[in-house]
Structure 1
């Protein structure tokens, strides 16, 4: 039996699992392939962003921050998980002081919240740019990077709360990763609900703002002034990408966020007084976490695939339609509306 006891450090809970079962669940080849796929996808997206025609626009800068965050998240957490799966070492013996566990817990919360917060920031930027273009201050790439830094600081501050006494990071089933504790302690409940609430609010805010922005673009397309106020192709392209990012974040993260909230609010508590979870709950948490990590792989492909150059190759008819829906009126109409 491979067992974790709570006597060696604050991050260990009772968890009994055989090495054979752990080897079947935690395959090093699966983890390594998953990590390589994600890193390659994000590197490809970063290279495409570097060659974009307007790399310093506010939206593309925020998108670059999102892809960079996803890349670093896969690199940091993937290195720990892959090495754990490959060596199959007992976390209790390798990290009795829980320093590595605490580091990974902070990283999991930080790199989990950042994409959701950045998605909300991108939705806010597009909402103001489309619905209130004259209210928006001059958007520069420096201002956008400042927004990215602010999101990073907020996510890091939240991730450090368990190290300051609010909540705990513990080793999770099958003993290869660390995350927040789904326990009945007030600190665990408060921190878990704060994490789930902040993530859910970010997704909900993105949905509301993106819905209003898309409705505004549709109204401009079909309104009376449509002939003279057509949205530019880049605005439509950015909204398509942003809606794709929102859908990916919702599908990947909401099951985990809802599961965390339901588990913490369940009566009687799911975790026993000794700190043990049922095997069904542990497996559900592992499955939902794996689904959530797909967000880091799919985000870059939303940008890579939903670009005008790619869409026009797949659907050549879009090229002529995009030219017809230009922001500027055709020359004949321009002459009729001349001075």
Structure 2
């Protein structure tokens, strides 16, 4: 478990980027989960909320369980290193986070397409979309993702240290992870296809366009905002993760410093996704801040209207 690198770039050996990523990612995902929890009183647990809650929880666990080891590596002056068990554990967490994010974002894209199709028929959201089935689906997707990741780390492949030995990931140089890369590409293609179909349905249907243009409150505007969010988060995920995925498919072009930066870029999804959601729900976030200020001043919280 060695890395063929003898010269360390000072910036690559700095703890500052990891500290910024840890702080923004932790705060962002916790705030997103708090907004989801508080908003459930007005909107209930909609399918979108359940899927994004799974995404935010997975991002938070990945950050809090992997970054402490990176800090330990930096604070030890690069003398401490992973043993094989910790390297496998770190690799499992990162692989599982990437794969589960792809599953859940693809599921959200499909769900938004189904919503657009239902509104196109002017039937609204039917009761069949509610209930426990979406909760079960989120758990199933996360279990499948964890099983595939564990299978690769413990059987189909092995883990390797990534320069400057602060992270571990699949050793895709010695053995290409065909199932992982094929599944990842399929999920990205499905996400792109269903997002394009949703945009096309929105563009061609005057009812959907007028719904977004004239409805300022209520469920219609909420669905419109969620559709925009899913498209944006899909584009961000595609842009940030695809370079690293390409590097896994073509390992001949591997350079240790390039691998480090592509992995860092891919991990930015855990930071950007919750802050995009907070921006979408900025009115709900503002009400939470307002209530906190009122509580500290000893005032009773004001009645709030349902948020988007």
TM-score by length of 2: 0.80
Q: Per the alignment, do residues 301 and 164 of structure 1 end up closer, same or farther by CA in structure 2, a change over 3 Å counting?
A: closer
The aligned residue for residue 112 of structure 1 is 98
The aligned residue for residue 43 of structure 2 is 54
Q: Which has the larger radius of gyration?
A: 1
The aligned residue for residue 171 of structure 1 is 161
Judge which range, 199-208 or 245-254, deviates more. 199-208
- After superposition, residues 1-339 of structure 1 pair within 5 angstroms as 12-17=1-6, 21=8, 24-52=11-39, 53-90=42-79, 95=83, 98-132=84-118, 138-140=128-130, 142-184=132-174, 188-189=175-176, 191=177, 193-221=178-206, 232-263=220-251, 266=252, 281-307=255-281, 309=283
* Count of residue pairs the alignment pairs up: 276
Rounded Cα–Cα distance in structure 1 between residues aligned with 2:20 and 2:79:
23
1:224-249 deviations in Å (ceiling 9; x for gaps):
998xxx99212211101101110110
**Alignment RMSD, CA only?**
3.0
For residue 89 of structure 1, report the CA deviation from its aligned partner: 4.4
Rounded Cα–Cα distance in structure 2 between residues aligned with 1:65 and 1:25:
31
For residue 24 of structure 1, report the CA deviation from its aligned partner: 4.5
Report the secondary structure of 2:168's partner residue.
strand
For residue 252 of structure 1, report the CA deviation from its aligned partner: 0.8
Judge which range, 55-64 or 24-33, deviates more. 24-33
Q: Per the alignment, do residues 164 and 38 of structure 1 end up closer, same or farther by CA in structure 2, a change over 3 Å counting?
A: closer
- Please identify which structure carries the higher helix content: 2
Rounded Cα–Cα distance in structure 1 between residues aligned with 2:229 and 2:172:
34
Rounded Cα–Cα distance in structure 2 between residues aligned with 1:223 and 1:176:
48
Report the secondary structure of 1:160's partner residue.
helix
Q: Per the alignment, do residues 42 and 225 of structure 1 end up closer, same or farther by CA in structure 2, a change over 3 Å counting?
A: closer
Report the secondary structure of 1:38's partner residue.
helix
Judge which range, 98-107 or 230-239, deviates more. 230-239
Q: Per the alignment, do residues 287 and 149 of structure 1 end up closer, same or farther by CA in structure 2, a change over 3 Å counting?
A: same
Report the secondary structure of 2:128's partner residue.
coil
TM-score by length of 1: 0.73
Unpaired segments ≥5 residues, structure 2: 285-308
For residue 136 of structure 1, report the CA deviation from its aligned partner: 6.9
Cα contact 2:91–2:153 (8 A) shared by 1: no
For residue 182 of structure 1, report the CA deviation from its aligned partner: 2.8
Rounded Cα–Cα distance in structure 2 between residues aligned with 1:203 and 1:291:
17
For residue 198 of structure 1, report the CA deviation from its aligned partner: 1.9
Q: Which has the higher contact order (CA 8 A, sep 6+)?
A: 2
Cα contact 2:3–2:165 (8 A) shared by 1: no
For residue 62 of structure 1, report the CA deviation from its aligned partner: 0.9
Report the secondary structure of 2:161's partner residue.
strand
Q: Per the alignment, do residues 141 and 33 of structure 1 end up closer, same or farther by CA in structure 2, a change over 3 Å counting?
A: farther
Judge which range, 30-39 or 213-222, deviates more. 213-222
Cα contact 1:240–1:306 (8 A) shared by 2: no
